Amino acid sequence: MASESVGVGLVGFGTIGAGVAKVLINNRDVIAQRLGFPLDLVHVADLDLDTDRGVDLGSIRFDSDGAGLITNPDVDIVIELVGGYDFARKLCLDAIAAGKHVVTANKALLAVHGNEIFGAASEKGVDVAFEAAVGGGIPVLRALREGLAANQIQNLYGILNGTTNFVLTEMERTGADFEVVLKQAQELGYAEADPTFDVEGVDAAHKLALLTSMAFGSTLDFKSIPTEGISKLTPLDFESAEANGYRIKLLGIAKRHVAPDGSETLESRVHPTLIPRASLLADVDGAMNAVAIRGDAVGPTLYYGAGAGELPTASAVVGDLMEIAREVHRGASGRVAPLAFPQPTLVPKPLRALGDLVSRFYLRIEALDRPGVLAKITGALGEHGVGIESIHQQGAAPGEDSVPVVVWTHEVREAGVRDALKAIDALAEVTAASNVIRVEEDL
Amino acid sequence: MASESVGVGLVGFGTIGAGVAKVLINNRDVIAQRLGFPLDLVHVADLDLDTDRGVDLGSIRFDSDGAGLITNPDVDIVIELVGGYDFARKLCLDAIAAGKHVVTANKALLAVHGNEIFGAASEKGVDVAFEAAVGGGIPVLRALREGLAANQIQNLYGILNGTTNFVLTEMERTGADFEVVLKQAQELGYAEADPTFDVEGVDAAHKLALLTSMAFGSTLDFKSIPTEGISKLTPLDFESAEANGYRIKLLGIAKRHVAPDGSETLESRVHPTLIPRASLLADVDGAMNAVAIRGDAVGPTLYYGAGAGELPTASAVVGDLMEIAREVHRGASGRVAPLAFPQPTLVPKPLRALGDLVSRFYLRIEALDRPGVLAKITGALGEHGVGIESIHQQGAAPGEDSVPVVVWTHEVREAGVRDALKAIDALAEVTAASNVIRVEEDL
């Protein structure tokens, strides 16, 4: 059966779907050459049969019959690109039940319903691949699953969302406010009309949930990931970062801790982070993504590329298709576990509470420009054991009475910082909720 | 046979060999958990049975019988870590003939004898894996072979040698001469007593030969790769680079060109290169490696990590072992081609002559500080069609009569530059051979 083809069905013919069709059609020869057999797109399903996607499907079956696609005997692998939760979940589960392998780019779906979907696939003995769900075109899941398979992963830091990285890069470059830059990003197509999922860190948390499971063999636990977005950042934060040798990036951070008794706890969190300018991640600008992964044998590594977009995402989807197709073509199966995660069985591993985090912190406190206010602030910090490395009060602008006070702390438990800020925010002279940015040095 | 182990034999128990043994022994549990079966080091062979390598082999067979290791029925996969050419070549070919899979970190061997070794493996139906041979612990070959498999690769740029990158970083940082920094690197263990292979670019060219074949499906052709090292660089080169917004890196560069008639030519070359400070590769400092790869779908990507060292190299070797072991455990074979290269058959593809390269160039010409010399130099450049972007003559140091003249050219064919320099170096006022550094902007 050396030249027998493997059949692919595509559900969801939007931007990414069109990209996948383009790559499968345009690079058909090189793909067949590398596989030793053709990979054929045989069926495309979408509710919208009219919009021109700029790709000629030729004689490929194109209808709105997703259920029919799943049961199409010519389809060996189903690509789910419909997005969202309910319909996508049902589609994946139905495809798995029909014995079809599944490739998806849907991080939201997997972060929330992954345990169910991977469980069903494992029971049925089919593959679920999702390289495109994390880091777009960057083959970072493959690096974790295969290239670094000999390592205990120690930590990872990811710039996992292009929209927010674009906004942060522009805020730093121009000194403009968040809202102004967000609007530009929307006009340029880097941010959606409703940007909440991106700017509030939810998309990054979806991806971090998948990375955390892969890196540490832990059950998916998206709901437990503390998540903060970038909407509260101000130009002053970037100025202060710059002056202290840092840049601000929205990071997904995951770390593994082993207690003396051998028990494991994990950190998994998404928030704006101050990182040293000299770190490679600090140089990742614009809409690009990157993930830094440290393994016990390999040491620090980093993977960089486009985290979204039609063709980069398609690159990852088709890479997954090729890997599964090779197995299908050999008549093999049972690679589910390695495709899904680096180990066959995921086990629940407790997440460390954010209050237990020990770090330096950057605090921005809005307070009235009155004698004695700084004493009250430093007093509250001291009472809660928060050591101050530097404190700086900006002069009030003409007509303004409230000024920001910037504090860089020594290393301290976050719980102490939170308690101190609770006391500070309760002061009569403090005019707005204080803002906190965590500092990560070790990357 | 769910828990039946796969057996590994290790030939060459030096630094890397000890690292591999450490990873196999220390991470045995996590490796078994990820594979679903144990990966057992069953036999180690080395001529030196006495040196303490800091690893307890326990009851693992340890002798100097490499031939016996190959025929040991408990050994499914042979790791070749003896280095060098002749013995390593024979070892690999003998192992393949005995039906054993081979994992090696030996780029010199593969660059020179790869076509023979991969051919033998393909005929016998066994795997030869060599992730550790390029980029040390960075899973960059896997990225090319699997993650980017859907792409036509357009170009790649690699910092492929840690010794030279360390020396370049220190020359730039300290302003010291090459010989001074090389000596420091030797004292720090970053450079070998005989550093020729590293500093003259040969090691980078070995790795680039492998990357070029993988990226473009071309037969290995190490001998045809134009190779220049870093020993002629001077502090002035770094100053001029800095002043013009560049850094100097020793790069392996490979590009694919397709003529209108569909015929392909490749570029594959190793030399010091001026690259924009803003590029991510420019920020790769010290002994680290990185490879930037651009695919037609994915766009720009980059992979970063330790390019050498005991444990990073072991990480890659054991990653390869795990991939092959999974196949062995399934009773599968025939994955040779995908393991070796992204396509089953490599074809010879012509390399473009360096004279046809079109680029900006940095020229450093040593000339007597006499009236009329600059006119002769600019005249020679003009005669050969080399447009000058800037020219700068340094003032002579007290007691020195010869001064460097630095020229940055417009985009021009290298052949023209070479002809011009031939004429310039023949001038009576020119006191030493001129030096050329190529500029790459598009990375």
8 Å CB contact of B297 and A304: no
Q: Domain containing B359 — which CATH number?
A: 3.30.70.260
Region for B303 from its dihedrals, namely left if φ exceeds 0, alpha if ψ lies in -120 to 50, beta otherwise? beta
Nearest residue on chain A to B138, judged by CA atoms?
Answer: A301
Helix orientation angle between B107-124 and B202-216, rounded to the nearest 10 degrees: 30
Spell out where A240-347 has E strands.
246-258, 264-276, 288-295, 299-306
Q: What is the pLDDT along chain B (443 residues), one digit of tens a residue?
A: 446 899 999 999 999 999 999 999 999 999 998 888 999 999 999 999 999 999 999 999 999 999 999 999 999 999 999 999 999 999 999 999 999 999 999 999 999 999 999 989 988 989 999 999 999 999 999 999 999 999 999 999 999 999 999 999 999 999 999 999 999 999 999 999 999 999 999 999 999 999 999 999 999 999 999 999 999 999 999 999 999 999 999 999 999 999 999 999 999 999 999 999 999 999 999 999 999 999 999 999 999 999 999 999 999 999 999 999 988 988 766 554 444 444 567 889 999 999 999 999 999 999 999 999 999 999 999 999 999 999 999 877 777 889 999 999 999 999 999 999 999 999 999 999 999 999 999 88
Same domain membership, residue A218 and residue A109: no
Q: Which residue of B has its CA nearest to A301?
A: B305
DSSP code for B4 = -
Q: Which helix (H) or strand (E) holds A389?
A: strand A388-393
Start-to-end Cα distance in chain A: 49
Query: Does any domain span residue A1?
Result: no
Same domain? B290 vs B177 = yes
Task: Among A20, A28, A281, A315, pick the best mutation site for testing chain B contact (most B Cβ within 10 A).
Answer: A315
C-beta neighbour count of A242 within 10 angstroms = 13
Task: Find out whether A313 and A292 touch, Cβ atoms under 8 Å.
Answer: no
Which domain range does residue A427 map to? 358-439
Residues A158 and A302 in one domain: yes
pLDDT at res. B394: 80
Q: A244 and A257: one domain?
A: yes
3-state SS record for A25-60: HHCHHHHHHHHCCCEEEEEEECCCCCCCCCCCCCCC
Residue B348 is assigned to a structural domain of this protein: no
> What total number of domains does chain A contain?
3
Q: Is residue A67 part of a domain?
A: yes
Shared domain check, B227 and B127 = no
pLDDT at B408: 98
**Residues in Cβ contact with A112 at an 8 Å cutoff, skipping those fewer than 6 apart:** A85, A206, A222
B36 touches chain A (CB under 8 A): yes
- The answer to whether residue A11 is domain-embedded is yes
Instruction: Name A256's Cβ contacts closer than 8 Å, sequence gap at least 6.
Output: A152, A153, A154, A155, A215, A216, A264, A265, A266
Q: Per the CB < 8 Å rule, is B280 touching A27? A: no
Contact A299 B321 (CB under 8 A): no
Contact residues, B window 362-421, toward A, CB-based 8 Å cutoff: none
Residue A46 CA to residue A64 CA, distance in Å, equals: 5
The per-residue pLDDT for range A165-210, each reduced to its tens digit, is 999 999 999 999 999 999 999 999 999 999 999 999 999 999 999 9
* Same domain as B265, residue B205: yes
CB within 8 Å: A301 and B299: no
Is the Cβ–Cβ distance between B198 and B186 less than 8 Å?
no
Whether the CB of A311 is below 8 Å from some CB of chain B: the reply is yes
Compute the distance between CA of residue A159 and CA of residue B302 in angstroms, rounded to an integer: 14
Q: For residues B419 and B434, what is the distance between their CA atoms, to the nearest angstrom?
A: 12
Q: Are residues A127 and A161 in the same domain?
A: no
For residue B217, the domain's CATH number is 3.30.360.10
**Cα separation, B114 vs B144, whole angstroms:** 18
What is the pLDDT at residue A340?
A: 45
Rounded to a whole number of angstroms, the CA Rg of chain B reads 24
Which residue is associated with the tokens 């522009």? Answer: A170
The answer on B129 and B219 residing in a single domain is no
| Same domain (yes/no): A202, A281 | yes
Return the ∠ at Cα B29 (arms to B21 and A152), rounded to 5°: 80
A151 and A299 both lie in a single domain: yes
Is B424 part of any domain?
Answer: yes
> Is there a domain that residue A221 lies in?
yes
Find out whether A257 and A267 touch, Cβ atoms under 8 Å. Answer: yes
Residue A170 lies in a domain: yes
CATH assignment of the domain containing A108: 3.40.50.720
Candidate list A207, A249, A255, A349, residue with the active-site label: A207
Q: Are A125 and A333 in contact (CB under 8 A)?
A: yes
B380 and B234 together in one domain: no
Q: pLDDT tens, A53-69? A: 999 999 999 999 999 99
pTM: predicted TM-score of the whole model, two decimal places: 0.96
- Both B301 and B314 in one domain: the answer is no
Residue B39 β-bridge partners: B6
Q: Is residue B347 part of a domain?
A: no
Quote the pLDDT of residue B344: 61
Q: What stretches in chain A show pLDDT beneath 50?
A: 1-2, 336-342
Q: Would residue A207 show up in a list of annotated catalytic residues for this protein?
A: yes
